[in-house]
Chain A
Amino acid sequence: MSDAPLLSVKDLRVHFPIERGVFFRKEVGRVRAVDGVSFSVPRGETLGLVGESGCGKSTTARAIIRLVKPTSGSIGFRGKDLAAIGEQEMRRDVRRHVQMIFQDPYASLDPRMTVERLVAEPLVNYGVARGAALRDRVSELLELVGLSRRHLDRYPHEFSGGQRQRIGIARALALDPELVLCDEPVSALDVSIQAQVVNLLQDLQERLGLTYLFIAHDLAVVRHISDRVAVMYLGRIVELAPSDAIYAKPSHPYTQALLSAIPIPDPALQRARRRIALEGEIPSPTKEYKGCRFYDRCPVREERCRSEDPPLAEVRPGHAVACWVAAKTA
């Protein structure tokens, strides 16, 4: 691919200071939610971001759209560095091109607004359409996500979870964004409804040429929808590869453990599988590391891993791993 990627994140860090004191606030530590993350997403592709709670996957998305301020690093998008520009420029030039779909459609829609107002709001804010043209555009958007003009005057509580998520998607697509950040878009939905929304997201991508950053903890869903997958652990990407490769040949010991922990709905297969048990639990992101962050829990750790931080490096073309042991054996 010769084009520059649509989104290019380099060494992104988002630290939250922990402060003490009433008059003289003093920083006593920091939560390193995102701590040196680099990846890029070509136009029209889907990058899946997976990891357990606290690994920094949502914070990464929130930093891209500036719901939190990046501490350092750069976020290249449409020729601008989103980490460096001001709030006003962000709102004026960038936000309409990057939109977000949230996990909980019950919390992200204002219960006092009708569907028409909810979906029209971004169009009105950016002065894109008004009057009859506005109503037409809103109807068009509703049809795009599988709802209809009949729903215009209804309120969010009249809809099921799946339908509400469709309203959220219509709202996100109102301004014709190029990049859509999907933060656990199906996790709160019923099992039988998840597939409907996943299919809708895939159809929309094909029709509108959207680029997705797809965040989820369900690796089966992520594998299904993503072209490439990045696995995060404690604020870092530990493995990044085409989605089939990451499932066929997981190389980082954390990815291996994570995959082995996911149940498969097939009794014979599931009973025969061996789970790779990890020691302990995910440590606090306030801790500072000299070596590998996974050291304490790693089943294959070596002496070097304690003192030297492994970089994310390719072990095969397109398959990058941050692990000294995997780099040696690849």
Chain B
Amino acid sequence: MSSNGPLLDLRGLRTHFRTDRGPVRSVDGVDLSVAPGESVGVVGESGSGKSVTMLSVMRLLPSPPAMHQGQALWKGEDVFGWGARRLRSFRGREVAMIFQDPMTSLNPYLKIGVQLTEAVQLHLGLDHAKARDRAAEMLRRVGIPVPESRLDDYPHQYSGGMRQRVMIAMALSCEPQLLIADEPTTALDVTIQAQILELIDAQRRASGTGLVLITHSLGVVAGMCDRVVVMYAGRVVEEGRTEDLFGDPRMPYTVGLLRSVPRLDVVTERLVPVPGTPPDPQRLPSGCPFRVRCPWAEARCAETRPELRDVAAPGAAPHRIACHVDITKAAPREPASGGAA
């Protein structure tokens, strides 16, 4: 594999869950790649498959019930072919993950220092004293005052924002090449949220770490990501450079999402909601899963599920959408009145 290939390359990744009532197609054919040092935002509503995609890559879902198909290539090697030993060095050392709720990711019975030194002792082979120095250094870098004394505190002695800082310190302590952050600030207050996002951004820029930021907030990706991937019903429906996707969204779902959110800097008399509700992954409609909510839907949208296609101008950076319709030419139908959620 050449060194300038993507770090992570998902090809037709599917994760279905076996249940008594039939399979749940949470991730249903995802193509997505992340280059070294790149920051990619993955946006979607709950149930769109964004978290399950990343949990599949980390091989964190027990199988069964999770059934994987397709490939998840890490520097050209398929993670689904790896044994336990290879996975151990992959997780934490090469790729680190931060979750939404730091309280559920930290062990309440262990001191922060113990939890921080565990990873560096294991992955970097540091002795106890060196590991402790490194842990204190990491805490300082994420802005925890008097880190030496806070190493002997337990997680409950930290505030929510501090705990998320600890998670970031822990994730970056082994200098991974890719950081996956799954809604890292959703549980935090606005001013703390901004601090944490800036911290993640500054730290990953300093070390050249790639970032996958999973979020439902369009504002967060607008400020932080080079590229944005929009997911709907287990698939990527639009993908492109952040400026292109926000400036010229081409998939009707993205258009609807951008239009429905009130903005702080713009006065709107009335919001334009996306009609209907997200689909049940157990009962996806035929063809395009968004068609039942889509003002541009045509007869062919019910027949075949659209594949991702590039709509960028020749020579421009790729801008791909999974949609049969060219919304720059077709006119939308007026949405039906009422539109009960």
Do A and B come together as binding partners? yes
A-to-B contact residues, CB < 8 Å: 52-53, 146-148, 160-163, 165-166, 190-199, 202, 217, 219-221, 223-224, 244, 247, 257-271, 273, 275, 277-278, 281-282
A282 and B270 within 8 A (CB): no
B33 — which chain A residues lie within 8 A by C-beta?
none
Q: Which 10 A-B pairs have the closest CB atoms?
A: A162-B341, A263-B219, A195-B273, A265-B218, A192-B274, A261-B194, A52-B189, A195-B271, A146-B340, A224-B262
- Pick from A193, A262, A268: contact of B273, CB below 8 A: A193
Q: How far is the CB of B111 from chain A (nearest CB, A)?
A: 21
- Pick from B258, B264, B274: contact of A223, CB below 8 A: B264
- Pick from A148, A163, A191, A270: contact of B341, CB below 8 A: A163
- Pick from A165, A193, A281: contact of B192, CB below 8 A: A281
Q: How far is the CB of A150 from chain B (nearest CB, A)?
A: 11
Interface residues in B272-309 by Cβ distance below 8 A to A read 272-275, 277-278
Indicate whether A224 sits within 8 Å of B341 (C-beta atoms), given known contacts A163-B277, A195-B274: no
B278 — which chain A residues lie within 8 A by C-beta?
160, 190, 192
**Complex: chain B residue closest to A275, CB-CB:** B194
- Interface size, chain B (Cβ < 8 Å): 47
Q: How far is the CB of B221 from chain A (nearest CB, A)?
A: 8
B-to-A contact residues, CB < 8 Å: 45-46, 159, 161-162, 189-195, 198, 216-220, 222-223, 242-243, 246-247, 256-258, 260-265, 267-268, 270-275, 277-278, 338-341
A265 — which chain B residues lie within 8 A by C-beta?
218-219, 222, 246, 258, 261, 263
A16 to B296 CA separation, bound complex (whole angstroms) = 55
**Complex: chain A residue closest to B277, CB-CB:** A160
Q: How far is the CB of A152 from chain B (nearest CB, A)?
A: 15
Q: How far is the CB of A49 from chain B (nearest CB, A)?
A: 15
What are 18 pairs between A and B in contact, CB < 8 Å? A160-B277, A166-B341, A190-B45, A190-B216, A191-B218, A191-B260, A191-B261, A192-B274, A196-B339, A198-B271, A219-B264, A264-B219, A264-B263, A265-B219, A265-B261, A269-B265, A271-B222, A278-B191
- In the complex, besides A163-B340, A202-B270, 15 extra interface pairs with C-beta distance below 8 angstroms are A146-B341, A148-B340, A191-B257, A192-B273, A192-B274, A194-B261, A195-B260, A195-B261, A198-B271, A247-B264, A264-B219, A264-B264, A266-B246, A269-B265, A281-B162
Most buried by A among B267, B268, B341: B341
